[in-house]
Homo-oligomer: A and B are copies of this chain.
């Protein structure tokens, strides 16, 4: 089956935002075994949206639109799509209630135009929006399914996963199953080189690699008459990948992020954790704390941006800061050790670096980051050189810190177990 994506929004046409919704939907649809031949971006303009949508409906089995479901004048995706599908709009009581609840819950009063979001096309399937006020809509016409999703990724992504995946899955006679093997610490090109023979000979299952910050995901996708058969095709390929990449694979679970893998490792081994962050300023803690259940292992953390804070909260020596500087392996190590002393945590991790745009020198350029990890007294310090702007450097540093935590913990236990 073919699927086509239409993203509606002047802010994309003006280049104000990067179209991450299209990338997200494209990746998900590919994973569901749908062929995507066209993606279009069009503004909030009835005539042009009608033209694009009519073309799409005539040539694709499924059309997914995102954006333009807001309450304001220029949000006209729903009305236009209803017209193209020959549907009238009516007031959906359930959507009314949900919008009223949404505002009551926030002690806010909806304005008149908010109720516009409760209008839905006749005969449509209405999808709950648990993160906003615009419900999703599915209209089934003779030859096409038209799916409308809200534009904000924080609403689109959960709605897609909670409602749309299941709907799309039912449309295809075959079942498409996929499993993602997530690898950290190896570049995409060397991952590709390692599995070139598998990629060259792929038929069913197919194998695709996706580069993420500090990670590479390999998706293995099989199509079969039922889930059991599909999984049977996937299993030997995943086994082969495991034998080739070993411990560099941190999970084979779709929903497991690198931070969840690290938290799971801490939980399984009853290890408490504390972060001491300088250049990343709380980002590592924030990522760990996004994992539900982290409270069992994460108790406290420090943001020590100034030298004074590094000394006062973590006991970094004045002499170390003077001799080696705040961005040095020595300071990183003392930060990790100081965090261990202050918090009595089993695992501590410390980051110090130059995120830019200023502060770089010839010896210590922007992008230089030291990360130290202390696992029950065993400290590893690593030096990294990241590229990009301030945000990108900090993000890459957090990802590297998670990888270092993982490898340090694994190494500690292999030493304990095998006496290495």
Q: Name the distance in Å between A103's Cβ and chain B's nearest Cβ.
A: 9
Cβ of A315 within 8 Å of any chain B Cβ, yes or no, is: no
Partner of A106 from the list B30, B39, B114, B385 (CB cut-off 8 Å) is B385
B18 touches A19 (CB 8 A): yes
A299 touches B308 (CB 8 A): yes
CA–CA, A127 and B74, complex, Å? 39
Write out the residue numbers on chain B whose beta carbons fall within 8 Å of the beta carbon of A11. 210
Within 347-372 of A, Cβ neighbours of B (below 8 Å) are at 356-358, 367
- Given A19-B23, A39-B41, A73-B199, answer yes or no on A292-B390 (Cβ-Cβ < 8 Å): yes
Q: Which of A138-146, A183-191, A330-338 contacts B (4 or more CB under 8 A)?
A: A183-191
Write out the residue numbers on chain B whose beta carbons fall within 8 Å of the beta carbon of A107. 385
B39 touches A152 (CB 8 A): no
B385 touches A73 (CB 8 A): no
Write out the residue numbers on chain B whose beta carbons fall within 8 Å of the beta carbon of A313. 300
**A267-307 toward B: CB 8 Å interface, digit per residue (1/0)?**
00000000101011111111011101111001111111110
Write out the residue numbers on chain B whose beta carbons fall within 8 Å of the beta carbon of A284. 282
Q: Which of chain B's residues has its CB closest to A389's CB?
A: B158
CA–CA, A293 and B196, complex, Å? 46
Cβ of A15 within 8 Å of any chain B Cβ, yes or no, is: yes
Cβ of A170 within 8 Å of any chain B Cβ, yes or no, is: no
CA–CA, A26 and B391, complex, Å? 23
A52 touches B36 (CB 8 A): no
B295 touches A300 (CB 8 A): no
User: Interface residues of A, CB < 8 Å — how many?
Assistant: 111
Write out the residue numbers on chain B whose beta carbons fall within 8 Å of the beta carbon of A385. 105-107
Write out the residue numbers on chain B whose beta carbons fall within 8 Å of the beta carbon of A40. 38-41
Cβ of A403 within 8 Å of any chain B Cβ, yes or no, is: no
Write out the residue numbers on chain B whose beta carbons fall within 8 Å of the beta carbon of A19. 18-19, 22-23, 39
B22 touches A20 (CB 8 A): no
Cβ of A387 within 8 Å of any chain B Cβ, yes or no, is: yes
**A94-112 toward B: CB 8 Å interface, digit per residue (1/0)?**
0000000010011110111
Q: Which of chain B's residues has its CB closest to A41's CB?
A: B39
CA–CA, A391 and B187, complex, Å? 27
CA–CA, A158 and B190, complex, Å? 26
Write out the residue numbers on chain B whose beta carbons fall within 8 Å of the beta carbon of A12. 22-23, 26, 39
- Give the residue among A24, A72, A385 with the most B Cβ atoms within 10 A: A72
A38 touches B27 (CB 8 A): no
A189 touches B72 (CB 8 A): yes
- Given A15-B27, A290-B394, answer yes or no on A211-B299 (Cβ-Cβ < 8 Å): no
Q: Which of chain B's residues has its CB closest to A113's CB?
A: B189
- Given A289-B281, A387-B105, A388-B130, answer yes or no on A192-B303 (Cβ-Cβ < 8 Å): no
Within 2-59 of A, Cβ neighbours of B (below 8 Å) are at 10-20, 22-30, 36-43, 45, 48, 52, 55
CA–CA, A70 and B301, complex, Å? 37
Q: Name the distance in Å between A378's Cβ and chain B's nearest Cβ.
A: 23
Q: Name the distance in Å between A57's Cβ and chain B's nearest Cβ.
A: 15
Write out the residue numbers on chain B whose beta carbons fall within 8 Å of the beta carbon of A308. 299-300
Cβ of A165 within 8 Å of any chain B Cβ, yes or no, is: no
Partner of A358 from the list B48, B292, B387 (CB cut-off 8 Å) is B292
Write out the residue numbers on chain B whose beta carbons fall within 8 Å of the beta carbon of A279. 289
Given A15-B24, A281-B290, A300-B303, 4 extra CB contacts under 8 A: A12-B23, A19-B23, A280-B289, A282-B285
Interface residues of A (CB under 8 A from B): 10-20, 22-30, 36-43, 45, 48, 52, 55, 70-74, 102, 105-108, 110-114, 130-132, 152, 154, 158, 187-190, 192-193, 196, 199, 208-211, 213, 219, 275, 277, 279-286, 288-290, 292-295, 298-306, 308-309, 312-313, 356-358, 367, 385-392, 394-395
